[in-house]
A and B are shown apart, each in its own frame.
Chain A
Amino acid sequence: MTRGPDDRKDEENMNFVGIDIGSTASKVSVRGDKEINYVLPTGWSSKETAGTIKEKLLEEGVDVEAEDTKVVATGYGRIAVDYADYVITEITCHARGGREFAGNDCAVIDVGGQDTKVIILEDGMVKDFLMNDKCSAGTGKFLEIMANRLGVTLQELFEMADRGNILSISSLCTVFAESEVINYIGEGKPREDIAAGVVDSVAAKVAQLAQRKDLPEKIILTGGLSKSRYFTAQLSDKLGRTVEPTEMGRYAGAIGAAKLAEEKSRKRR
């Protein structure tokens, strides 16, 4: 299909919106005429969050209902986005986002709020993927619970962990692991050491999942923890492979969704 100059002009005004409604945070990425990225807490209702996103985008001059705006929704709350033009799973969107960060052949490890996934890309396509089972160990939720227990933010947890010596947390279950942490607190162990143990435990579980696949040379981390060099260092250590942090990794799903919106709308022309 050949495109004339008029089409190109149309496309200049188009906006491609990716909305990734996760269990903890919702990420929005707009590409095209406008370039916007922002994140907001998902809250208790994905539907309400989807409404808030719509209003916020309108304030920025992006009307999701407009003919020249294409929306792809993803994440566990994807079906709540009733104004989406397409609904695509977070696996495909994260893979597409990962491609923007690391090229066509890579592995994307995404540590999310309620699940952790490992996606293998080959020639820009998803070749294989794996998600954790119905258990919060090795997810952001685990870190969140432990940070709360230690009375610190996630950011502080990583900073503390960097200064501490790892205390072993052996339980596979978040609830039991929390008891272990409470025990350590009771014994008066330094918070830094407990924090180091918590991060170590998550890194170990994520590595365990990732090891089940043949990983390519290039491996990146996405999701809420993707900027943390401490976490990627721990993960690299466990895997015996380099896992690179990504500056915009939190938006991997949303950016991927926006790219897919663009590709899908091109295909239809």
Chain B
Amino acid sequence: MEVIKDLPEVFEEFAEQRKKSFLAVKELKDKGVPVVGAYCTYFPQEIAMAMGAATVGLCSTSDETISVAEKDLPKNLCPLIKSSYGFAVTDKCPFFYFSDVVVGETTCDGKKKMYEYMSEFKDVFLMELPNTQGEQAFQLWKSEIIRFKEYLEKKFDVEITEDQIRNAIKINNAGRRSLRRLYEVMHHDPAPITGHDLFKVLYGSTFKFDRSQIPAEVDALVDKIEKEYAEGKMQEKKPRILVTGCPIGGATEKVIQAIENNGGIVVTYENCTGAKSIDKLVDEDNPDVYDALARRYLDIGCSVMAPNPNRLELLGRLIDEYQVDGVVEMILQACHTYNVESTGIRRFVNEKKNIPYIGVETDYSQADIGQLNTRIAAFIEML
């Protein structure tokens, strides 16, 4: 019998998903299911899924282990890299602990150099991600995806067939379609739910090991949101904010809270937790599965790409689609690529889209909450 839950309860459940999965990952291991950990949206999940492995995101979101990490890494490095390394080296993250292999990509300079140290105490498979998106880059990325498949086959003594990959592509696409339907509820003005609640579901869903379960769960949630909206349950009308920039989660949810506690509402996320990793599907009709995967993943508009036109394309589309009043960019301290790119983003938002932009640089501490609130409240007051 299905218990009908209230929306707030559903949102909290998703928010708890990461913790719940700590137990789930152990159960999987006990059953002999391989676990593949990854740090980035560029990770072609479907390859690992094809061999029946569970995949899990390892990016850490708390400042708990940063001081330990600073024994090996410089102080002025991005907190995501330091925190992730810190959790790894102290064995404090169960997902890392249970991962049979960790997949890294040559994304930003900080991450790729960090993996060198990480590989001293963990199996790290490093994929060479090009930092351009032309034809040669695509060929390289495709060969890297095939190399990754071959690595898994050898390590786990299995064969990964194209049919299995095709099946994984279908499962993940279905999940993406549902998650996209979910964030599209924010097309409504006034918005039906808060941006923070939306975030909890988007972030929590990345910790669902059985990806095939996502559509049913998320679709039910969407239907419930739409039904309640039709009945008049909605947020107050507020300035509509798009969040872009570095990945958000854990400590940096303070930025979402600063927006929503000061009179705004986040209607869409362009970052890795949001549209950036969900918006595009893998082409299911492409007979060459590696080709299809390589195209889809290489196209992701992360600031490690130079130039990075796909970010602007997505950003522009989201601003129009969600009737955005202002853009807030969250940049992690010492994240060079996002930091440098922020001038271009500001120009694009101000000059091409004619709406205000604010960039906030922050880390995993809570020390700047007061300043964040002042800046963001002032930004919302000017909308």
**Footprint of B on A, CB under 8 Å?**
76, 88-92, 115, 125-129, 131, 133-134
Contacts and interface: CB of A to CB of B under 8 A. Distances in A.
A168 B374 CA distance: 33
Interface of B: 356, 361, 367-368, 370-371, 374-375, 377-378, 381-382
Nearest to A117: B378
Contact of A89 (B356, B367, B378): B378
21 contacts: A76-B370, A89-B378, A90-B374, A90-B378, A91-B374, A91-B378, A91-B381, A92-B378, A92-B382, A115-B371, A125-B382, A126-B381, A127-B382, A128-B356, A129-B378, A131-B371, A131-B374, A131-B375, A133-B361, A134-B368, A134-B371
Contacts of A128: 356
A42 to B, nearest CB: 15
A129 B380 CA distance: 12
A89 B361 contact: no
A90 B356 CA distance: 18
A127 B356 CA distance: 8
A92 B381 contact: yes
Contacts of B370: 76
A31 B58 CA distance: 57
B333 to A, nearest CB: 10
B262 to A, nearest CB: 8
A134 B381 contact: no
A211 to B, nearest CB: 14
Given A88-B381, A134-B367, 11 more contacts: A89-B381, A90-B374, A90-B378, A91-B374, A91-B381, A92-B378, A92-B382, A128-B356, A129-B382, A133-B361, A134-B371
Nearest to A115: B371
B309 to A, nearest CB: 26
Nearest to B363: A134
A89 B358 CA distance: 15
A89 B371 contact: no
Contacts of B371: 115, 131, 134
Contacts of B356: 128
Contacts of B377: 89
6 closest A-B pairs by beta carbon, nearest first, are A91-B378, A89-B378, A126-B382, A92-B381, A89-B377, A89-B374
B283 to A, nearest CB: 42
A205 B367 CA distance: 23
